[in-house]
Amino acid sequence: MPSRWDIVDVDFGTPVGHEQAKLRPALIVSHDGLNHNADLATVCPITGARTKAKYPSEVEIPTLPGILDAGADGTADPYDLNQHSNQTRPRTACGPGPASACL
């Protein structure tokens, strides 16, 4: 089961307005007590649209071999936090996130 600071692939479904959508990597930011016992996780989507932080709130996520492939680095914005149920929006574990991404 994925844990806090892991990067997972999440199906964000159909967007409304400017929301993130489709299957994309995300950083789990919720406590493991929630992740493992409530079958929920608070995740921060990672966008590949920008590889350098544009706003002070964004965190740069580097390429991580086997997790985020070469050229797949991007940014995570804590203002895009989403809470997902593993039952309705499955998460696929990719691997541990970078220590520098710990918000």
pTM over 0.85? The answer is: no
Which of 27-36, 66-75, 91-100 is predicted most confidently? 27-36
Segment 14-42 mean pLDDT: 81
Domain 6-97 indexed as CATH 2.30.30.110: yes
pLDDT: is 57 or 20 the higher one? 57
Segment 48-77 mean pLDDT: 74
> Tens of pLDDT along 77-101?
788 888 887 665 555 556 666 554 4
| Alpha-helical regions (H) of 1-103 | 32-37
- Structural element, H or E, at residue 34: helix 32-37
Q: Residue 33 pLDDT > 80, yes or no?
A: yes
CB 22 within 8 A of CB 12: yes
